[in-house]
Amino acid sequence: MLIKTNTGLRSSEVTDEVIFQERRDSLRLIGGIMALGVAGVAKGGTVDQAASMARQDALAASNERLTREQDIAHYNNYYEFSFYKAPPSELAQAMQVEPWVLEVGGLVENPLTLSIDDLLRLFPPEEQIRRIRCVEGWSGVVPWLGFPLFHLLKKASPLSFGKFVKFTSVMQPETMPNQRDQKMLPWPYVEGLRLDEAMHPLAMLAVGMYGKKLLNQNGAPIRLVIPWKYGFKSIKAIVKIEVTDSLPLTSWNQVAPKDYGFYANVNPEVPHPRWSQATERPLGSAFYSPRRKTELFNGYAEEVAHLYAGMDLRQLF
Ligand SMILES: Nc1nc2c(c(=O)[nH]1)N[C@H]1C(S)=C(S)[C@@H](COP(=O)(O)O)O[C@H]1N2
Ligand SMILES: [Mo]
């Protein structure tokens, strides 16, 4: 396994030259925000060289490739817009993502109200290549631009009795058709983590992907990326982050608790009632090509398994 890498591994090394060339061109075109992104990527050079080489060997040894941007950008789960995969890439273009305000509050010493520019100044994004695995059985390998969630949480300074973190997506019924017409999921979309999970360095807030700002359909302007959990935990278009003392009532867990656990750690041995979780289809691969074996914690077991020591992962799925 690879791609556990926080830094040191640049997407230019795993994608094909053509795609990267396109990305460099677009990088040149974007100003402010991405200047920060590029500076962040450049910092990869300061990462421990041996670790970096080990990651690159691992990557070369696996047969994984970066998912093509067009695949990640046109096959989306974004239920505020649609219950189908193709429509969000069009419908989400109507979303208002500027100006945007992110509130960080609840059980914290130092509540924050931040614009996206504030966030970028405080926490310059770096490129992080991460695996994503949806509970439906498809997966991707994505170069995100983001920063560790714990940087933001530390700044807000959780109180000692804070135990969980609740994330809330935007309400924008004027642009999000299902918020007007669909009661299948309660709106706004809500997700949650235990505080120690949220403080793990692999828990990321992403503001970009493929060297550019996030596309609306992929969660602009800011989303969570929790690579060891099923994709539905990686909530898009976040407006509020709150530290709480009780387990947050999350959207999917609330509507179908037997299907979607609070933890939702990727686990090939715990099937979903409708889908075996043993294998996955990398986005972009043909439906008839062999599926990839799904790994415990989506391949990040070395980093995150300690968070769940002593827990029965079948019960607390
Ligand atoms: N607000 C919000 N966030 C969301 C969702 C959603 O419907 N609404 N879908 C989730 C699911 S099920 C998945 S698999 C990922 C998909 O992210 P992607 O479309 O960027 O690949 O987003 C997650 N975040
Ligand atoms: Mo998903």
Whole-number pLDDT of residue 57:
52
Contact, 201 vs 105, CB < 8 A?
Answer: no
How far apart are the C-alpha atoms of 175 and 38, rounded to whole Å? 32
138: nearest Cα among 241, 24, 267, 287: 287
Q: Take atom 4 of ligand 1 and give the residue whose Cα is closest.
A: 235
Which residue ranges make up each domain of the chain? 67-308
pLDDT in tens, 194-234: 999 999 999 999 999 999 999 999 999 999 999 999 999 99
- What's the pTM? 0.85
CB of 7 sitting under 6 A from ligand 1: no
Residue 141 Cβ inside 6 Å of ligand 1? The answer reads: no
Instruction: Indicate whether residue 133 lines ligand 1 (CB < 6 A).
Output: no
d(CA 196, CA 109): 17
> Ligand 1 within 6 A of 234 CB?
yes
| Band (58; pLDDT cuts 50, 70, 90) | low
Question: Residue 56 pLDDT more than 60?
Answer: no
Residue 301 pLDDT more than 60? yes
pLDDT digits (tens, 9 = 90+) for 103-161: 999 999 999 999 999 999 999 999 999 999 999 999 999 999 999 999 999 999 999 99
Does 93 have pLDDT greater than 80?
yes
The predicted pLDDT at position 64 comes to 82
The pLDDT value recorded for residue 52 is 41
Q: Which residue, judged by its Cα, is nearest atom 14 of ligand 1?
A: 231
Query: Which H or E element spans position 33?
Result: helix 32-42
Residues 240-263 pLDDT 10s: 999 999 999 999 999 999 999 999
CA dist 313 and 130 (Å) reads 23
76 lines ligand 1 (CB under 6 A): yes
CB 198 within 8 A of CB 165: yes
Of the pLDDT bands very low, low, confident and very high (cuts 50, 70, 90), residue 296 is very high
Give the tokens for residue 224.
């969570």
Cα(first)–Cα(last) distance of the chain, in Å?
22
* Probe residue for ligand 1, chosen from 71, 72, 77, 214 as the CB with the greatest number of ligand atoms within 8 Å: 77
Task: State in Å: Cα 138 to ligand 2 middle.
Answer: 8
**What is the percent of the chain with per-residue pLDDT over 70, rounded to a whole number?**
80
Q: What band does 44 get if pLDDT is binned at 50, 70 and 90?
A: very low
Q: Does CATH number 3.90.420.10 belong to domain 67-308?
A: yes
Residue 226 CB–ligand 1 contact under 6 Å? no
Residue to mutate (ligand 1; options 234, 240, 274; most atoms within 8 A of CB): 234
